[in-house]
Structure 1
């Protein structure tokens, strides 16, 4: 009887040892697949490459056709933003390693910013600029400090006057419809580099709304924008007045 009991005890111990070994083997095999996935999903945003910056101008009429604006819309292009981006298609934003917005650092630029970079959706332009700096600008701070960031946008706005560039190629904001390629080709011909064109819908009519130009990370040298289609229509209206 004792022999039988000892044999059963040995069998139980062997079974437990085999089960533990099998569990370790399964855990090791699973970790080979799980670990890389976990690492890829926790890459901090600060590690994303800043390859270039978008300089974005918006056609005020189209913006305010789409949503109620708090300020009168004018038939002009105004600055929407200077946005760092990567060639992977990711727009850098909300970086955590930059300085907070300080209005005093751009006090000499305020008059020009009010004219060229107004907020259409905020009463206070300062709040708009604060959002732009703390969402996008701080991601460029290794190349452009706060003053340089806003000054760079103003310089680009002065140099790349989109209304004049388009008029040179016979494209006017009189409510006419133009092929998207015609607008893109006109800008390419005048700047030497490919833009991106964005549109929005007003009463099911696509309107020219934003134009993206691309620059190096110092926002001084214009380059080709990545080939990305931001408007799914072949032609867009270029409106002059609200509701046109």
Structure 2
């Protein structure tokens, strides 16, 4: 019996959705490694957050996420991996030694670390592709590897750029960029990070985003603009 036109339309739409979800994995231009300054993030009043663990990682940036990103198109989210079990993070796929490192480098300011990892994997990690095989371990290990390599707090500190208590201190994004470039080089690749500041409190640094190539092998220039302008305020 022939299908009605309405049924055929539904079938075509469902096939299209399934196809687009499958194609979502790996369809991005680069990776955004978001490194959060928790004290600044927790002072934000322009978003609704209630931090519980804002001082669990003193004097360091922590990983907010590793996000597949595009120069023009919206960044992919909640991709279908082709494997139902891989849609949810299975921490058993993460070796204990890496989990120990993530508890230092990828901590949640608002709750449980493991729940945070599962959220980031579900929303962003499912869209990640390492060039050979789609794996949870590679996603988290790539984020940790670059967090450890950039070592942003000590890198900036070495050039006299440090957060100050009270009213904080202003620095130029140009000086901070030069400091990061000076202390991190790989195969002489040059790159420009993004500096993210809140609107309330005004122009306070809460995040630095480092851009990586599609497969997470090297740092590259971030093409999206920073939100801090030429100056940012850095506070403890």
TM-score interval for Structure 1 and Structure 2 normalised by the shorter chain: 0.7 to 0.9
Alignment of 1:1-244 (within 5 A): 44=20, 47=23, 49-66=27-44, 67-73=49-55, 74-98=58-82, 99=86, 100-108=88-96, 109-122=98-111, 124-141=112-129, 143=131, 144-174=134-164, 175-191=168-184, 192-203=190-201, 205-226=202-223, 228-231=224-227, 233-240=229-236
User: Deviation string for 1:139-192 (max 9, x for gaps)?
Assistant: 114535101111111111110011122123321112211123332343344443
Higher relative contact order (CA closer than 8 Å, sequence separation 6+): 2
CA contact (8 A) 1:188 1:195 kept: no
Structure 1 residue ranges without an equivalent (≥5): 1-37
Structure 2 residue ranges without an equivalent (≥5): 1-12, 185-189
User: Deviation string for 1:109-160 (max 9, x for gaps)?
Assistant: 22111111001112x1111101111111111145351011111111111100
Taking structure 1 as the reference length, the TM-score comes to 0.73
Of the two, which has the highest radius of gyration? 1
- Number of matched pairs: 198
CA contact (8 A) 1:178 1:235 kept: yes
Give the Cα separation in 2 of the matches to 1:134 and 1:97: 10
Higher helix proportion (structure 1 or 2): 1
Q: Give the CA RMSD over aligned residues.
A: 2.4
Stretch moving more, 67-76 or 181-190: 181-190
Taking structure 2 as the reference length, the TM-score comes to 0.75
